[in-house]
Amino acid sequence: MSRFGTLPRRLVHLVVILFGITLVTFFLLRLIPGDPALAILGSSYTHQRATAIDISLGLNKPIWTQYALFMGRLFRGNLGYSFFYNAPATTVIVQHVPPTLFLVVYSAVLAGLIALPIGFISGLRRGGVVDQASRVFFTVSFAMPAFWLGIILLLIFSVHIPVFPISGFGSGFAGHLYYLFLPALTIALGFATVLVRSLRAATIATLQAEFIDTARMKGISRARVLRRHVFRNAVLAVVAVYGVNLAYLISGTVLVENVFSLPGLGSLLVNSVSDRDYPVVQGVALLFAVLIVAINLLTDVTQASLDPRVGQEIGE
Amino acid sequence: MSQTTWATNPSAMLLTVAERAARRTRRSGRRRLVLLAGLAMLAVAIVATIGAPLLISQSPTALDVLRPLAPPVASGHLLGTDQYGRDILARILYGGRIDLAIAFGATSVTLVFGTVVGLVAGYFGGWVDNLIMRIVDLFFAFPFLVLIIAIIAMLGPSIFNMFVAIWITSWVSYARIMRAQTVVAKKQQYVLAARALGYGRLRVMLRHILPNTASAVIIFSMVDAIGNIILAASLGFLGLGAQPPTPEWGTMISDGQSYILSSWWIATLPGLAIVFVGVAFSLIGDGLADVLRPGDR
Amino acid sequence: MSSDEPPRPEPRASTEPRASAEPPASAEVRAGAGPDPLLTVRDLRTYLATGQGVVRAVDGVSFTVGQAEVLGVVGESGCGKTVTCRTIMGLMPRRTAYSSGEVIYHPRGDGSILDLSQAELQKLRGAQLAMIFQDPMTALNPVRSIGDQLLEAVTAHAKLPRPRAHDRAVDLLTRVGIPAPGRRMRDYPFQFSGGMLQRALIAIALASSPRLLLADEPTTSLDVIIQDQILSLLLELQRDTGMSMILVSHDLAVITEVCDRIIVMYGGQVVEEGETATIITAPAHPYTRALLDALPEAGRPGQLTSIPGKPPSLIDVPAGCRFAPRCPLATDKCTSWQTTLVEAGGLGHRARCWRHGEIGGAKA
């Protein structure tokens, strides 16, 4: 039996989803009320330019032909032309990827570092000090908008106690780590809320499992029972939650980049909305969706390699 | 997890255990208070925002030109003023109307629609289920906020378009939860019995399955309400939601960000309002979970 | 949890009797318990703190297990059998479960093992006392291989080099009758059937050659044919190793088939104890009698009798005899009687019933 038994089916599923994503992004442009060329050009409208846009978007052709053209361009890596930046949208987007990618990974790691010990201890000592304190803290932090939390952290750690920079991306790996600490912490706190809750629940459930009694009956040390049976199983149960909620983390990135003025995809997305730079908006949405699909795939593979049961047909 | 606690004397032990047991009983009683506290906080927020004209005399848009950026308490403004000298308290109370409207208006519509879709998908199964769930998967493939922003980008920023964007995207969570519940419920004895009695599909779904499965989506809707408030504020903050001079918590925070070095109150206080309402929904959600699904904790 | 151990009573001379509300019912030398006792339980009480109130799960239980003896514990579910076993193993949750009384493991000396520290208890578990649980499907960690979990037990008390530990593990699996043990070491629990899992669990329990095995309903969740196989395996291993065994079951048929001596539990108490032959032919408690009557008999198909009523709630424990509400022989005296185990004639045969002489032997 293969450990990745259901993976082929998942790959088919993946292709279907990717196809759907292109459909959704394609039809996004159709939502523009009135004349898209007018909306795109705004004050720089001239008849010639409008015709150029109509032709480049293929607006004079039937809709399915337009979609075929869109897909054809997409396969060549062409997301359209940004009239605002006066450059291909692909080029503009690629330039903005590094800060966002760094921030996403940074905050995902930070969230794990915060949530693993707190969630585990809260579950182990239910009703204890850590459990009570983290419950109050995370109930409040769950209700905080990421952008507001970012401002508060700025106010405290950049203005009153100036230890971290107010904005910017820094240079070099260490520089990025330093400059992006507050933004990453802002996102990580929101993400950690979900992780702490699920890890706590998973730990409590694991502790009550009968196999824990079997392990203790063997006469091995408590530390070993906790490490090899409780922690391992509880973390496994949370891997899926972690993967699914990375989407949440990306939403946080969009906001936090705007608070800390980071030159990433989130800032680009919001600026492009006000600049009515539709090809860029479309491209960023597409890129984020593909990123999430990739993360989900990675989560499934991770789970399959950690948990022998995943990917097997388990008769119920 | 540990070994048994050992006592010297059985009668002394009985007292200790009885005291422990009583403490557990009290603790479970206290959980109901959580629900009441959440409801009370939400009631305060609703009354204060709707009844704002009766509570305070200041207008949210009136400019006190002589006192811009006035700190709280001083100068006759309880929570200070913003850069135009507008009263912060008034703006928070009036601005809350938009955020609470989103919390109720957007959440209730998606709750009902998503629940119905999930019920249908789970009950009918087959290609109906397959089609619906693939569409749901598709929505989940996009980061929620990015999709909303993209939709608003195309429709143009306004409060109404914010509602539309949420309606389009946010029913999917309910559909997914409700479908999972329905699939399980469909195999339960009470549903099989109802079907054996020859009841119609609609009756089985609405009278038998829905009442037994609704708790999950209802509890989730409290979390979703928090999410929608934060979303409304976020869009306001990014300039894609409420447009100036309309007061709204997110736009107020955005305004205040430029003055954060000198006048901290402009950006921080509206955020506290969001946290207050958010915690209220959180407590209601936790309380409902205890009341509707006891034994889950 | 381990860092905040509650204050432990001063160690004291083992000859000094423990303070208790009721004098230990069977502290005296017992003729029927065989020559050398291995484990003595005296006036064991385990109370649980729950949101509904205090559950008196075990309420004054005393018994002895002899060397190489198989003791059966029988009773309906919820009568305290499992809690008794788990208390002996120190597997009850500290925050909700409280125990008093004594559990003496004789090879270790005359002190009780109930108040041992976690570290001392750890030395006993597996090496001296082992336990197998009711549901083999949930008793193994689903995400770790069988071999991994067996090796953990093999090396818990003996520092063996890896190849030798592996050989020992394979030996154990062979002994409990698992085919192709070398290959199956790498399998995960979900790849095993229920019967095979229970065999693996027996191998784990026996990994460090314990002297007492507590088997808590080891066959209840298995198919009937598998049940017999597991029971004979347990008996065979018990005879080969000379260990003692406490076999817990709600099924009197299983118990009488396997055990030398039986204790019958009801409502957290022992209501009758004695040699298996004595209990079958001359029960001295109406509850034992009812259990016997409920057994299907070869000559009387379709004549199943069940005991009317439910076991008592262990939260509001009735005064007097706990079986009185369901007892056909109950009188006013039963509800006021301060129950104790009384001698019922045979060697070590005792019952918690003042009308023990009137129970009668065979089915009417």
Per residue in A147-188, pLDDT (tens digit) is 999 999 988 998 888 888 877 788 888 888 899 999 999 999
Q: Residue C297 — pLDDT band, cuts 50, 70, 90? A: low
Percent above pLDDT 90 for chain A: 37
The DSSP code sequence of A136-190 is HHHHHHHTS-HHHHHHHHHIIIIIIS--S-SS---SHHHHHHHHTHHHHHHHHHH
**Structural contact between residues B226 and B234, judged by C-beta atoms closer than 8 angstroms:** no
- Is C152 within 8 Å of A217 when comparing Cβ atoms? no
Partners of A272 on chain B (C-beta within 8 Å) are: 153
Where is mean pLDDT largest: B65-69, C21-25, C240-244?
C240-244
pLDDT surpasses 90 at C132: yes
Question: Sign (positive/negative) of CA torsion C271, C276, C282, C287?
Answer: positive
Token pair of C245 as six digits: 């065994």
Predicted local confidence at residue B217, as pLDDT? 93
- Is B21 within 8 Å of C115 when comparing Cβ atoms? no
- Is C93 within 8 Å of B7 when comparing Cβ atoms? no
State how far the Cα of C343 lies from the Cα of C340, in Å rounded to an integer: 10
pLDDT surpasses 60 at C173: yes
pTM: 0.84
Mean pLDDT along residues A278-285: 88
- Is C100 within 8 Å of B4 when comparing Cβ atoms? no
φ/ψ region of A219 (left if φ > 0, alpha if ψ in -120 to 50, else beta) reads left
Predicted local confidence at residue C11, as pLDDT? 41
pLDDT surpasses 80 at A35: no
Predicted local confidence at residue A108, as pLDDT? 93
In angstroms, how far apart are the furthest CA atoms of chain A? 84
- Is A219 within 8 Å of C131 when comparing Cβ atoms? no
**Structural contact between residues A270 and B240, judged by C-beta atoms closer than 8 angstroms:** yes
In chain B, the residue whose alpha carbon lies closest to the alpha carbon of C58 is B10
**Structural contact between residues B78 and B70, judged by C-beta atoms closer than 8 angstroms:** no
The minimum CA-CA distance between A300 and chain C, rounded to whole Å, is: 16
Token pair of B39 as six digits: 């409801």
Token pair of B79 as six digits: 């929570």
- Strands ordered across the beta sheet of C53-66: B5-6, C97-105, C37-50, C53-66
Q: Residue C363 — pLDDT band, cuts 50, 70, 90? A: very low
φ/ψ region of C249 (left if φ > 0, alpha if ψ in -120 to 50, else beta) reads beta
Nearest to B4 among C49, C51, C99 (CB): C99
State how far the Cα of C278 lies from the Cα of C285, in Å rounded to an integer: 12
ipTM score here? Answer: 0.86
Q: Which amino acid is at A214?
A: T
In chain B, the residue whose alpha carbon lies closest to the alpha carbon of C53 is B21
Predicted local confidence at residue C316, as pLDDT? 81
Residue C55, CA distances (Å) to B109, C3, C45, C99, C264 in order: 48, 27, 11, 12, 20
**Antiparallel, parallel or unpaired: β A81-82 and A87-88:** antiparallel
Spell out which chain C residues touch chain B, with contact meaning CB-CB distance below 8 angstroms.
Answer: 1-2, 6, 8-9, 18-22, 43, 45-54, 60, 86-87, 90-101, 114-116, 118, 121
Predicted local confidence at residue C127, as pLDDT? 92
How does A117-136 read in b/e, with b if 16+ C-beta sit within 10 Å?
A: ebbbbbbbbeeeebbeebbe
State how far the Cα of B13 lies from the Cα of C141, in Å rounded to an integer: 35
Token pair of B99 as six digits: 């955020």
Those residues with Cβ within 8 angstroms of residue B42's Cβ, 6 or more apart along the chain or in another chain? B277, B280, B281, B284
pLDDT surpasses 60 at A59: yes
The C-alpha angle C122, C128, C131, rounded to 5 degrees, equals: 85
- Is B28 within 8 Å of C101 when comparing Cβ atoms? no
List all chains that touch chain B, counting a touch as 3 or more CB pairs closer than 8 Å: A, C
The minimum CA-CA distance between B293 and chain C, rounded to whole Å, is: 16
Predicted local confidence at residue C6, as pLDDT? 45
Where is mean pLDDT largest: A48-62, A279-293, C347-361?
A279-293
Q: Residue C270 — pLDDT band, cuts 50, 70, 90? A: very high
Q: Residue C15 — pLDDT band, cuts 50, 70, 90? A: very low
The minimum CA-CA distance between B213 and chain C, rounded to whole Å, is: 26
pLDDT surpasses 50 at C14: no
In chain A, the residue whose alpha carbon lies closest to the alpha carbon of C86 is A213
Helices A246-259 and A232-244, axial angle in degrees (round to 10): 60
Helices A7-28 and A278-306, axial angle in degrees (round to 10): 170
Q: Long-range contacts: A123-128, Cβ < 8 Å, 24+?
A: A123/A199, A123/A200, A123/A201, A123/A202, A123/A203, A123/A204, A123/A207, A123/A234, A124/A203, A124/A207, A124/A226, A124/A230, A124/B1, A124/C1, A125/C1, A126/A204
Q: Is pLDDT larger for residue C11 or for residue B26?
A: B26
pLDDT surpasses 50 at C3: no
pLDDT surpasses 60 at C303: no
The minimum CA-CA distance between B285 and chain A, rounded to whole Å, is: 11
The minimum CA-CA distance between A176 and chain B, rounded to whole Å, is: 23
Q: Could you read off the pLDDT of A67-107 as tens digits, one per residue?
A: 888 888 888 888 888 878 888 989 999 999 999 999 999 99
The minimum CA-CA distance between C211 and chain A, rounded to whole Å, is: 14
Predicted local confidence at residue C312, as pLDDT? 78
- Is C133 within 8 Å of A213 when comparing Cβ atoms? yes
Q: pLDDT per position in chain B (297 positions), as tens?
A: 457 788 778 788 888 888 888 888 887 777 788 899 999 999 999 999 998 888 887 788 777 777 777 777 766 777 777 777 788 888 999 999 999 999 999 999 999 999 999 999 999 988 999 999 989 988 888 888 888 998 998 888 889 999 999 999 999 999 999 999 999 888 888 888 888 888 888 888 888 889 888 899 999 999 999 999 999 999 999 988 888 888 899 999 988 888 888 888 888 999 999 999 999 999 999 888 888 876 544
Q: Residue A217 — pLDDT band, cuts 50, 70, 90? A: very high
Mean pLDDT along residues C341-357: 83
Nearest to A216 among C125, C140, C142 (CB): C125
Predicted local confidence at residue A312, as pLDDT? 54
Predicted local confidence at residue A91, as pLDDT? 92
**Structural contact between residues B180 and B114, judged by C-beta atoms closer than 8 angstroms:** no
Q: Could you read off the pLDDT of A223-244 as tens digits, one per residue?
A: 999 999 999 999 988 988 888 7
In chain A, the residue whose alpha carbon lies closest to the alpha carbon of C140 is A211
Predicted local confidence at residue C25, as pLDDT? 42
Partners of C91 on chain B (C-beta within 8 Å) are: 3-4
Residue C122, CA distances (Å) to A166, A218, A220, C91 in order: 54, 8, 7, 11
**Which of C155, C67, C156 shows the shortest CA–CA distance to C107?**
C67
Q: Residue A302 — pLDDT band, cuts 50, 70, 90? A: confident
Predicted local confidence at residue C24, as pLDDT? 42
Partners of C11 on chain B (C-beta within 8 Å) are: none
Those residues with Cβ within 8 angstroms of residue A157's Cβ, 6 or more apart along the chain or in another chain? A163, A164, A182
Q: Is pLDDT larger for residue C27 or for residue A295?
A: A295
Alpha-carbon radius of gyration of chain A: 24
**Which of B275, B228, B279 shows the shortest CA–CA distance to B106?**
B228
Mean pLDDT along residues A121-133: 92
| Mutant choice from A273, A286, A299 vs B, greatest count of B C-beta within 10 A | A273
**Which of C58, C12, C74, C15 shows the shortest CA–CA distance to C246?**
C74
In chain C, the residue whose alpha carbon lies closest to the alpha carbon of B11 is C21
Predicted local confidence at residue A6, as pLDDT? 62
In chain B, the residue whose alpha carbon lies closest to the alpha carbon of A32 is B154
- Is C98 within 8 Å of B9 when comparing Cβ atoms? no
Those residues with Cβ within 8 angstroms of residue C75's Cβ, 6 or more apart along the chain or in another chain? C81, C250, C264, C265, C266
Predicted local confidence at residue A5, as pLDDT? 56
Predicted local confidence at residue B208, as pLDDT? 87
